[in-house]
Structures are given as structure tokens and as C-alpha cells.
Amino acid sequence: MSHRIAYDAVAVRFPIDALREAFPETRLFDDQFLLFELGGDNNLTVQQYRGNRLVEIRVRDWSLMGSGKKYEVMTGVVETAAWCEGGGLRLSGSRDTQAETFIRRYRNIVDAAVAPGTLGRHLGCTMTLNVPDPQTVDKEWRHKELTALIACLSGRTPERIGDRLQWSLSPLRDMRDAALLFSYQYFDERRIYNRAQVSGHEYDATPLAKRMSADTFSLAF
């Protein structure tokens, strides 16, 4: 039976003080998080050279799994873990993963969230913020909020997609982009994994957390 394999995951924490400093107008009150997962389908493979040998390995890629306050990210994890019950989701190296095991693993990952700059040295991440055109909304508060967002991004031209506007943001590199993203993402109606393009070392045998720890140690010396 086809199932998804979760190979690795990493979380990044954006301290509320840093977000407020970058965007004083924000109404955020808590630290914000992004959760990324490296995963793929067990039935999809690709050929790659390992040394002089051409081998077939399972396709995998990084995607955005959660965005927002810690409890919001963990809510998404719990909902995703339901797939474990029917065998549709497994942790790498496991023949069968219980939902409780999946949740515990990802809670530990969120608890160990790293700084944006640390993760930015290992993953590339461009996120898009997709919101309604303020001229198409009928509630005054929505029009006011969207008009304020457009003013904050006045130096950037949005892409128009139907009656919606979309901007590209770089939250791992720009704290103001991160603050705008978290402040206005409630207008974005897309599924979370459709809001970001993430790139990194998909086929590295060493988990990303260990690579980041090694780099931090080497930078200290």
C-alpha cells in the first residue's frame, strides 16, 4: 500500500520581541514558528549516482508543514498524525508508526526550534502570502486590514491571481517579511504546504538538526 515516509523535520522560532521590532504595528503577542518536513511517497523513486554506482532511491522533498503560534503548529501535527492510524504515514525506518509516536517526535522538534539565521544556512525558503484584493471584500475591517498590508508592501508589486493578490516573502532572511507573514496569514486560504517553496539537501544521510549542531560548533571555533 502506498504511504508517505517522513524522513526528517526541523522547526524555526521567531521571538515575538524580534517580530515587534521589525514590524511595530503587529498585533502578535507570542513567539511564532515554522515547521518544515522532509518526506515523500514510498512508491516514487529517482536514480542517482552514489560514487560510481547508479542507484534507485525514493523521491523526497522539503515542504512547509506548520506556521503560527506553537499550539497552532502542533494542532496541524496532531491532524497529520491521524494518517498513521491507517498506515498512510510512517517515520523513516519504521514499519509502523503510531500517531502518539509521531506527535511526540514532532513536539520534540518544535521544542528544539532553531533561530531563522541558523536554518537559513541550510534551507532555502520562499513563502507566498495570498490575500483578497481589498476592492473585492464587503466587510470594512477586512478592507482596512488589507489596505494596510498593501501599504506595508508598497515597494513590491504583487502578482494578481484572479481576484487575489500574492507577494513573495523571505521569512528566514528578513524578520520584517516574517512579521508580515505571521500578521496577515489568516487571509491566506490555501493549504499550508502550498504556501512555500523549500529547497535543501534532500538526500543527505545526516539529519538536518545534527548538521546544524555541527556547523554551530565549528563556528564557535
Tens of pLDDT, residue by residue over 107-128, are: 999 999 999 999 999 999 999 9
Number of other residues whose CB lies within 10 A of the CB of residue 151: 9
Give residue for cell 521589525: 22
- 4 contacts 37 by C-beta, under 8 angstroms: no
- 20 contacts 26 by C-beta, under 8 angstroms: yes
Q: Do you know the residue count of the chain?
A: 221
Listed by start position, the domains of the chain span 4-115, 124-193
Q: Give the whole-angstrom CA distance, residue 179 versus residue 188.
A: 15
Residue 217, pLDDT > 80, answer: no
Residue 220, pLDDT > 70, answer: no
C-alpha torsion sign, points 107, 109, 115, 116: negative
Name the percent of the chain lying above pLDDT 90: 76
Residue 213, pLDDT > 90, answer: no
Which H helix or E strand runs over 106? helix 99-111
Average pLDDT, the chain: 92
- 196 contacts 64 by C-beta, under 8 angstroms: yes
Tens of pLDDT, residue by residue over 79-104, are: 999 999 989 999 998 889 999 999 99
Tens of pLDDT, residue by residue over 152-192, are: 999 899 999 999 999 999 999 999 999 999 999 999 999 99
